[in-house]
Structure 1
């Protein structure tokens, strides 16, 4: 090769090396911007995930609340039914005891014991 060709190759190599060096320097100076961009990107992802999780939690909480309300209503109905039944049974027993006590005035202690026993049995049955 001739001397001018050698110079041209040397210039081309030098330009290439210089371009790589400039690119490396630019990459180093853009670290803050890249970090800020990455932080913003991650922040957006976290915010989106947090929103999604919040929606899921709210939906689950609503479902659980609905189930609890339904169960509470069912239990309330059962308790009301049991209370009505206990009231009715107590009334019937009291009427029967009163009738027996009127016919047999000599047995008031037995009547009281029987009433106490029935009330105790009813309370245990409710539990």
Structure 2
């Protein structure tokens, strides 16, 4: 296999499945991630599908599947941080007879950041996929 810079990648290499090189799967995953805001479990289905399909996808679709995997793990880490901070602030509130609950704004701010970043990442991926561009 020869080295090819990203500018020279063939974005429409044949894939082991589907004539679209897997674009349907990438679009489906973005839809599953959007539904994940309401159900949670569909995001897990999406990341499993991304892991299963990225080996046989075209270069273009593989970049999107890798992006979707990255989105999932960033969301898991943000969720853990939010839960831990909520527990710490509630504990602080219990120790200070409720005064420490003013710090509840910290996990809420991280939650708002997580929501905005995740929506941005999904929209960015959908836009680039619709234009036939990889995620860099």
State whether TM-score is above 0.5: no
* Structure of higher CA gyration radius: 1
TM-score normalised per structure 1? 0.33
Whichever structure has more helix as a proportion of its residues is 1
- RCO greater where, 1 or 2, for CA within 8 Å and sep 6 or more? 2
TM-score normalised per structure 2? 0.31
